[in-house]
Structure 1
């Protein structure tokens, strides 16, 4: 995307309050430009008075005017700096929040297929967005505006010197731009792509740490990261040199211009004295102009070098997403049954995963969903949970089709899920259990009931801190059975009428699994329970078993049933 297209897109995504900040910053920048010009004019008048004054009192007014202009300039520059930095950082905050929000509102299938490193890289790159793209861009625009005003005035007072300088600077920056373009190349990976590659290596190593240790592949992973890091830093170094290197050449040009100006004025009739005002103004103008030119060029080069992160940020900010669920909406009434009618499921262009599924689950039943890996049981559960829409057919609750986001959200309020790999945040048992509730404020009696229902009472009573015991990050301080029981207590605390156990006991020993099944038995018919499992022991107490094979669902009678 071209810089112009990027800036146009950026303007479109800016909320109204940020646009007002841009307008205010532009106004203050124009005031700063006027102050720059006023300072030079005041300096010229002051120096002219110094050269020709016969009485010190003649210097009072020019001195006050010059000092006032300098003070106004300093105030305007500080205000511009505060506004531009405030805008850049505020936009970074807006962008991070919007990207995170949209990532959480992606359709479930898109979320599971998308690499998590993309979101981590986008959020990590907010600092590069600030320091490498938007900050330099703001600096470039402000510097360019102020430099234009100064150059215009210097052209008026010393055109013979300034015109050749402009030509030299244009030739210099043009040559550097061509060199930088050839150096980076259009076919090379962008800095954003190189950053994602680094995170991808780290993410793979951390996610597969156990296998990596057992296979002794630390050396390979280290070399992969070292190469990705070297490529990333090398590209950074090239971009920074292209942006900041010209400063030294420009400083040389300015020094030569100053020498030429002094020589030119000293060769005129009357010597150097009459030219002191012009020399003074030109010296101050060049002294101010130098950082502006360097800032404008460096800012623009850094912006172009890091424009990929702005493009990626804008893309993620505009990525289609589902509406934000309305937590306050009433739940879908569930008094009779959950029904699937002629449901089919296909992913992309692959074969059907589910074929012509007709199914009814009555309230209060305990239903097991079994089948080999890849048979379609996970897809069946995802449809029942409202996570994915079937390719054909429909999901109904009490005869009402769940054919809108609002109805699906309302149905999901009736569900409580316990997965195979339970994640518990690092907090106390009490906070972990209560945090999942949607019916705030918290209820102590409800907490006690959930703890008893999950069979946690004796264990908590044995702990010195009881329910205030911390579980550690991810529940690392707990056993597998304790984590699962806390997850069940969290589900019970919600008082949802449907409890879903998705391979929740598959990694537990037989005794722990039996204890959790005793907990489910104690719930009786007060809850509808769906159990996805591949272990026969977990089928105990189930009213029905749904066997999913080759995309078809066949009901079979549980062992020991009459």
Structure 2
């Protein structure tokens, strides 16, 4: 049972939701009804075959006289006709109930799948920035897409199917015991024992294949991301075959593991079908020759029908057991993510944190791995309305300092105050309502310009007047108006249809649409040519004087309009530049 702890935890998580309790009650009732239908359909075969082979003996039985009276049977032909109709109705009813049970199984699995996918995505998005930079995005994408699909299949759908099959198998065996105890026990030990033996022999291989799928799925996603993300360089360097070859190796491991598991889960069916026919022949000989039973045909008919129902059920149990075992490594990974604390997400209706005076950093230190300080005892005051520049070599701590000011990273020691209010975990979300970030590479969705400016706002709630006003301030409006579809023009995936300067201006317009009081430009113009950079910086320098602008740049010319520049080296501020004469 310890082996299936992750499956139990998954179901504990599911059952906590009250809306599923009622659905599981319906599912349980349908399962009971399905089991009862199996019992009736197998039991009905004896009077049906008895009526066909020897109706006189059947009519003489005391228990059958009740049937004769209810259905007013007055001849052998009438008996055969009515019992045939009744047997067909029983068989069709049993099939209909099984279809309903299958539908409910699938429907509940689909609903739980939606719930789990949404919850995993929520848990992933609601982790801290530090969590995201320490995890490869391909691992998270693989988990939210491919892996969760496998968990839904193995941890939910096949668990439901396993228990449905298990109780159906018990009902069939119980019915066969009532018909002939020795025959039922032999059938159970031969057929059931065969599946148990095969399961014991293949269990380790199935689990190993599950581990192969778990470890290689993120690698496949990573190769796809790298191949499609770097397509320009790949085409120029003619490296397509290298990426294709690497992807093929990873995909082969995944597909062969899937193939092996499918083969191992389906293999018993072929073996047990032959064994089932052999068993029926042997039992026929036993009943006729050893026991001398004159009613051998009805008993064999019941056994044949029972075996015909039992074999697929046992095969389904084995297939579900295989899928559950193959999915255990993935279920464990999903449980780990479901147990993550949502560190940065909460519905906060409060207004943004008041910012009228300054930002104070006191004795701020930070490290990513606890070995080397990226920031070492930083003390800094940024006044509202200032344009502040940060320069320094790569690795000097500029971006980390900005991330701490924006509340993306928490300092290992030290404090941040906004207008003398300590920035704690709760206040960070209120503070971030003041901030807009314009990075070096603006993320643009494959949507319209208007949707990209009002990024994250549902299309029907976008304020077009505000969008246009923001675009004008970012010196983007005239360009948009020159386009055939104006603000409804689609930018293409990652903004491929726009120039670097236009993408940066959309980033600035996005910041202005947010009504941000602090705009952070993290090397926002470093990828632009000099002329485009000057044009973008001109737009930035014309923005509202009450805006506080924090800029990271490598080129000093980018910072010439800043009120103050801080130079960082090895995590410390080594120089404060107020007078920029002769520097630029």
Question: How has the CA–CA distance of structure 1 residues 216 and 473 changed in structure 2, closer, same or farther, with 3 Å as cutoff?
Answer: closer
Residue of structure 1 equivalent to 2:6: 6
Secondary structure of residue in 2 paired with 1:289: helix
Question: How has the CA–CA distance of structure 1 residues 457 and 11 changed in structure 2, closer, same or farther, with 3 Å as cutoff?
Answer: closer
Residue of structure 2 equivalent to 1:424: 444
Mapped contact 1:161–1:257 kept (Cα < 8 A):
no
Question: How has the CA–CA distance of structure 1 residues 518 and 526 changed in structure 2, closer, same or farther, with 3 Å as cutoff?
Answer: same
**Structure 1 CA distance, aligned partners of 2:203 and 2:268?**
15
Mapped contact 1:44–1:280 kept (Cα < 8 A):
yes
Shift of 1:422: 0.5
Residue of structure 1 equivalent to 2:500: 480
Shift of 1:166: 2.7
Shift of 1:213: 5.0
TM-score, normalised by the number of residues in structure 1: 0.92
Residue of structure 2 equivalent to 1:340: 361
Secondary structure of residue in 1 paired with 2:417: strand
Q: Which aligned pairs between 1:122-521 and structure 2 lie closer than 5 A?
A: 122=143, 123-183=145-205, 189-213=211-235, 217-267=239-289, 274-322=295-343, 324-326=345-347, 328-405=349-426, 407-436=427-456, 441-521=461-541
Mapped contact 2:210–2:257 kept (Cα < 8 A):
no
Secondary structure of residue in 1 paired with 2:366: strand
Question: How has the CA–CA distance of structure 1 residues 238 and 309 changed in structure 2, closer, same or farther, with 3 Å as cutoff?
Answer: same
**Structure 2 CA distance, aligned partners of 1:472 and 1:212?**
20
**Structure 2 CA distance, aligned partners of 1:126 and 1:439?**
29
**Structure 2 CA distance, aligned partners of 1:188 and 1:240?**
12
Shift of 1:467: 2.3
Shift of 1:456: 1.4
Shift of 1:358: 1.4
Shift of 1:455: 0.7
Residue of structure 2 equivalent to 1:46: 48
Mapped contact 2:10–2:335 kept (Cα < 8 A):
yes
Q: Which aligned pairs between 1:67-86 and structure 2 lie closer than 5 A?
A: 67-86=88-107
Mapped contact 1:176–1:242 kept (Cα < 8 A):
no
Residue of structure 2 equivalent to 1:26: 28
Mapped contact 1:447–1:493 kept (Cα < 8 A):
yes
TM-score, normalised by the number of residues in structure 2: 0.89
Shift of 1:64: 5.8
Residue of structure 1 equivalent to 2:572: 552
Question: How has the CA–CA distance of structure 1 residues 323 and 471 changed in structure 2, closer, same or farther, with 3 Å as cutoff?
Answer: closer
What do the CA deviations read for 1:357-379 (whole angstroms, capped 9, x no partner)?
11111111111111111011111
**Structure 2 CA distance, aligned partners of 1:55 and 1:216?**
84
Shift of 1:424: 1.3
What do the CA deviations read for 1:520-541 (whole angstroms, capped 9, x no partner)?
2222413111111111121121
Gaps of 5+ in 2: 57-74
Shift of 1:108: 0.7
Equivalent of residue 93 in structure 1, options 107, 110, 114 = 114
Equivalent of residue 139 in structure 2, options 110, 118, 137 = 118
Question: How has the CA–CA distance of structure 1 residues 235 and 428 changed in structure 2, closer, same or farther, with 3 Å as cutoff?
Answer: closer
Secondary structure of residue in 1 paired with 2:543: helix
**Structure 1 CA distance, aligned partners of 2:389 and 2:512?**
19
Mapped contact 1:369–1:548 kept (Cα < 8 A):
yes
Residue of structure 2 equivalent to 1:543: 563
**Structure 2 CA distance, aligned partners of 1:530 and 1:439?**
30
Question: How has the CA–CA distance of structure 1 residues 444 and 92 changed in structure 2, closer, same or farther, with 3 Å as cutoff?
Answer: closer
Confirm whether residue 530 of structure 1 aligns to residue 542 of structure 2: no
Shift of 1:268: 7.1
What do the CA deviations read for 1:87-110 (whole angstroms, capped 9, x no partner)?
211111111111111111111111
What do the CA deviations read for 1:20-44 (whole angstroms, capped 9, x no partner)?
3233212210111011112222332
Shift of 1:505: 0.5
Secondary structure of residue in 2 paired with 1:506: coil
Mapped contact 1:133–1:304 kept (Cα < 8 A):
no
Gaps of 5+ in 1: none
**Structure 2 CA distance, aligned partners of 1:427 and 1:558?**
44
Range 294-303 or range 220-229, more displaced: 220-229
